[in-house]
Amino acid sequence: METPNVKPAEIITKPPKVSFSTQGIPAPSPLYVTEIDSLTLNANSLPFAGATTFTVRARLLRADGTITPFEKILATTTGSGALNIPLAEGFLLSLSVLVSSVGGASPVGQVYIQVHLTRGFPNPTLITMLISDYANANYLATWPGGRFAQAQQGRGNIRAIVGTDPAAGAEISESVPAQTRWRLIAIFAQLTTSITVATRTVSWVLDDGVNTYWRAISFGTQGASLTQSYEAGTFGSSGIQGNTLSMEGLPYPCWMTSTFRIRTLTTNLQAGDNWGPPTYLVEEWVNA
């Protein structure tokens, strides 16, 4: 029996239109560094951030073609500190900073970091900035591909604070902590008056620790043996409700920074009159 004249099977592969070099390839990074260069991490946090650890991870493409990953850790008790990382010669391929706090993932807005490329030690010259952003355990600050943000940019950390309950006869006075910028949104407090007959008039006052720049006088007054509520907020209106709640409009936006205070000033405050603790809502940023 004769075999039909059939050609042997052959593999037909469409060749790719693009070809790649496998040797002498330029490094996929614009950042060539040498032994006299360093990475400098500066961490700034809101003062209540507490113990915070910063893990810097990077990859370096060395002259022999090998990729060297490395990791350095900065452990702080306050969330603020600095770390210098000497480099070897090569191309910096990637860089990231992981933030971990003792209390778990801190909300965005509490820990602000910057990483600079610097040269020289111990007084390094700043060459360029690689990272400038807020970060936490769920959000890595990275280069390349990250965003550049100033400490006061974007949404801040939202926090409700219960202030000091003053002794009888004392006023309310709450101050902005160090290294912090607040946008005060609202504040509420109650005044309980003694049996001493007098007409009390309450003012909310904003100052920078010394100079007063804003005051709002309540619409109503308060006599003896009464408990009345006073609030101020950026809701843009003032008034009185049911003779027991006085509302004042704060400046909008109500920016405050370290040493600034919000306090009460009560005309005819008696020794037995007693302010309760104020409760207030702020949006806050690291003031770095």
Which residues would be at the binding site for another protein (CB under 8 A)?
Answer: 43-45, 47-48, 50, 76-82, 103, 159-167, 169-175, 177-179, 201, 203, 205, 212-213, 215, 217, 258-259, 261, 263, 265-269, 277
Q: In the bound complex, what is the minimum distance in angstroms from residue 19's beta carbon to another protein?
A: 53
CA atoms of 152 and 136, how far apart (whole Å): 16
Cβ closest to another protein, residue 88 vs residue 168:
168
Cβ closest to another protein, residue 61 vs residue 240:
240
CA atoms of 164 and 206, how far apart (whole Å): 17
CA atoms of 130 and 118, how far apart (whole Å): 10
Q: In the bound complex, what is the minimum distance in angstroms from residue 188's beta carbon to another protein?
A: 16
Count the alpha carbons within 13 Å of 127 in the hemisphere toward its beta carbon: 15
Q: In the bound complex, what is the minimum distance in angstroms from residue 204's beta carbon to another protein?
A: 11
Cβ closest to another protein, residue 90 vs residue 278:
278
Q: In the bound complex, what is the minimum distance in angstroms from residue 284's beta carbon to another protein?
A: 10
The H or E element containing residue 142 is strand 141-143
> Coil, strand, or helix at residue 173?
strand
Cβ closest to another protein, residue 81 vs residue 251:
81
Q: In the bound complex, what is the minimum distance in angstroms from residue 132's beta carbon to another protein?
A: 17
> Coil, strand, or helix at residue 32?
strand
Q: In the bound complex, what is the minimum distance in angstroms from residue 27's beta carbon to another protein?
A: 35
Helix ranges (DSSP H) in 37-154: none
Count the alpha carbons within 13 Å of 51 in the hemisphere toward its beta carbon: 4
CA atoms of 173 and 205, how far apart (whole Å): 9
CA atoms of 13 and 189, how far apart (whole Å): 79
Strands (E), 198-273: 201-207, 212-217, 227-233, 239-241, 245-249, 254-257, 261-267
Cβ proximity of 232 and 224 under 8 Å:
no
Radius of gyration of the chain (CA): 31
Q: Can you tell me which residue has the tokens 């209540």?
A: 48
